[in-house]
Amino acid sequence: MAGKPGYDGAQDWRAPVRAREEEGAAGAANPFGRGDPAPFFFLSACRFQIGHNGALKIRITRQDPMTYAAITGWGKCMPPSVLTNADLATFLDTDDEWIVSRTGMKERRISHVSAIEMATVAAKRALACAGLDAADLDLIVYGSCSNDEQVPNSASGVQIGLAAHHAGAMDVNTACTSFLYGLSTASAMIRSGAVRNAVVIGVELISPYMDWSNRGVAVLFGDGCAAVVLQASEREEGVLAEKLGCIAEARQTLRVRGMGCAYANRNITLGDTLWDFDGQEIFKRAVGGMSQASEAVLAKRGVRPEDIDLVVPHQANLRIIESVVKRAGLPMDKVMLTVQRYGNMSAATVPVALVEALEEGRVKPGALMLMPAFGAGLTFCAHLVRWGERVTPIGHSDAELPPSPRSALEIVNGVRAIRAAQGGRSDAGLISVEYAEARQR
């Protein structure tokens, strides 16, 4: 024992995985709890200590295999109503060429139902894909910054829709990174043994809170949802590495005035918003944060750029995606793009792109994927994900949204008409708010 490298009499070589410990003393009954001699290989998981009476005490760890959180189910729910660039040009000073050249976007979706309804349909499809009954679901993680309600939380609304009566339910709001932060949260809880499985949702219903008079933001965003199912696995699948971060000193560069308790009792109508959106600063910070995070996760696992099979990035803007991919040393033909079809759906962009990559056959068994994102805060992250062997659904759900009675343009014009009738009554309250970071200086 004394010859063990680095042994100092109290060194603990035990792996921090779900372990059962037993203590015994030299010369006492076999601490392994069996009549046969203890196998030598267990010595690497032992802790030796000399007691006050001089007896050698041995603490034995029995190690379970490492637990991973494999992605076993997936599903999306996209509203049927499409808002095109031509539709936007009917009430904004813009056109298709202006929008496409700056963003890569040609259309986006506008929802006629709540975010919880979209999330419930997407989750039902993901559960069917995984072959997992909602009654056996342990956890629902709802990633969004446009919740239908604050109290109660939105995840509990999905629990009702799924009839997942035994599941915990939590919301995560890190803006556009909410799905990936939720993926980290659920994966860590599965690895710890707190839960066996989870459904992680990325959903956004931005259209009711959009400032449709502001061309700089109105052309960018859309509604949508997707979800994945995670299940405990001994195979090295799911999130292999992640890097989470936040550039808080730049939080004022992306702010939606009108969403949150800071705007209460200020003569502001709920739904009226003003958007602080510093495009150039956001571009610079987004590219830097996503690139830094991507480099960090590749280095953490010793992965080269050429080892990446597919990049599934946050779809904020085509030029941001191109810059991040170029810095990572990857070709654009390894990137899954949906920005042209759906615009920026905030927390929903990464999971929707992942589901569509699977539908298009771009995710192969054992694929290694890079998922970088950024959002208001300014939060950023990157995830290195190993796919499993199955790339087709086990089952299918018949869950559907009801048909939309109005076109996307009709929905948007309805919102615009309500706000026009108010004559800007909320503007003074929206502008006058003093934020926490200003008071803390």
Instruction: Assign 40 a pLDDT band (cuts: 50, 70, 90).
Output: very low
> What pLDDT score was predicted for residue 37?
40
Torsion sign, CA atoms 435, 251, 145, 101: positive
> What pLDDT score was predicted for residue 36?
42
Average pLDDT over residues 380-406: 98
pLDDT at 221 over 70: yes
Instruction: Assign 399 a pLDDT band (cuts: 50, 70, 90).
Output: very high
> What pLDDT score was predicted for residue 422?
87
**Could you say which of 46, 145, 176, 381 is catalytic?**
176
Average pLDDT over residues 59-69: 72
Instruction: Assign 145 a pLDDT band (cuts: 50, 70, 90).
Output: very high
The values of phi and psi at residue 112, to 5°, are -100, 0
Task: Let me know: does 158 contact 187? Beta carbons within 8 Å.
Answer: no
> What pLDDT score was predicted for residue 425?
87
pLDDT at 201 over 50: yes
Residue with the bigger pLDDT between 160 and 35: it is 160
**Which range among 300-304, 341-345, 431-435 shows the weakest confidence by mean pLDDT?**
431-435
> What pLDDT score was predicted for residue 49?
67
pLDDT at 402 over 50: yes
Average pLDDT over residues 61-70: 77
pLDDT at 289 over 50: yes
263 Cβ contact partners less than 8 Å away, ≥ 6 residues apart: 257, 429, 430, 433
* Rounded distance between C-alpha atoms, residue 441 and residue 433, angstroms: 16
**Could you say which of 147, 314, 381, 383 is catalytic?**
314
**Could you say which of 85, 173, 317, 344 is catalytic?**
344
> What pLDDT score was predicted for residue 29?
42
Average pLDDT over residues 221-229: 98
Q: What is the pLDDT of residues 352-381, one digit of tens each?
A: 999 999 999 999 999 999 999 999 999 999
pLDDT at 22 over 60: no
Query: Percent of the chain having pLDDT more than 90?
Result: 81
Distances (CA, A) of 277 to 206, 256, 359, 388: 15, 8, 34, 39
Q: How do beta strands 139-143 and 168-172 pair?
A: parallel
Average pLDDT over residues 105-123: 98
Query: Percent of the chain having pLDDT more than 70?
Result: 85
pTM across the whole model: 0.85
Average pLDDT over residues 50-65: 65
Task: Return the amino acid letter for 408.
Answer: A
Angle of helix 178-192 relative to helix 349-359, nearest 10 degrees?
80
Instruction: Assign 438 a pLDDT band (cuts: 50, 70, 90).
Output: confident
Specify the CATH class of 68-428 in words. Answer: alpha beta
Average pLDDT over residues 315-340: 97
Q: Is 396 a catalytic residue?
A: no
Task: Let me know: does 286 contact 176? Beta carbons within 8 Å.
Answer: no
Domain-by-domain residue ranges, the chain? 19-63, 68-428
Task: Please state the three-class secondary structure of the chain as a single string.
Answer: CCCCCCCCCCCCCCCCCCEEEEEEECCCCCCCCCCCCCCHHHHHHEEEEECCCCCEEEEEEEECCCCEEEEEEEEEECCCEEEEHHHHCCCCCCCHHHHHHHHCCCEEEECCCCHHHHHHHHHHHHHHHHCCCHHHCCEEEEECCCCCCCCCCHHHHHHHHHCCCCCEEEEECECECHHHHHHHHHHHHHHHCCCCEEEEEEEECCHHHCCCCCHHHHCCECCEEEEEEEEEECCCCEEEEEEEEECHHHHHHEEEECCCHHHCCCCCCCCCCEEEECHHHHHHHHHHHHHHHHHHHHHHHCCCHHHCCEECCCCCCHHHHHHHHHHCCCCHHHECCCHHHHCECHHHHHHHHHHHHHHCCCCCCCCEEEEEEEEHHHEEEEEEEECCCCCCCCCCCCCCCCCCCCCHHHHHHHHHHHHHHHCCCCHHHHHHCCCHHHHCC
Average pLDDT over residues 201-217: 97
Q: Is 77 a catalytic residue?
A: no
> What pLDDT score was predicted for residue 284?
96
> What pLDDT score was predicted for residue 48?
63
Minimal CA–CA distance to 254: which of 373, 375, 419, 431?
Answer: 375
Q: Is 314 a catalytic residue?
A: yes
Q: What is the pLDDT of residues 299-325, one digit of tens each?
A: 999 999 999 999 999 999 999 999 999
> What pLDDT score was predicted for residue 134?
98
Tokens encoding 287? 């590219």
First and final C-alpha spacing in the chain? 58
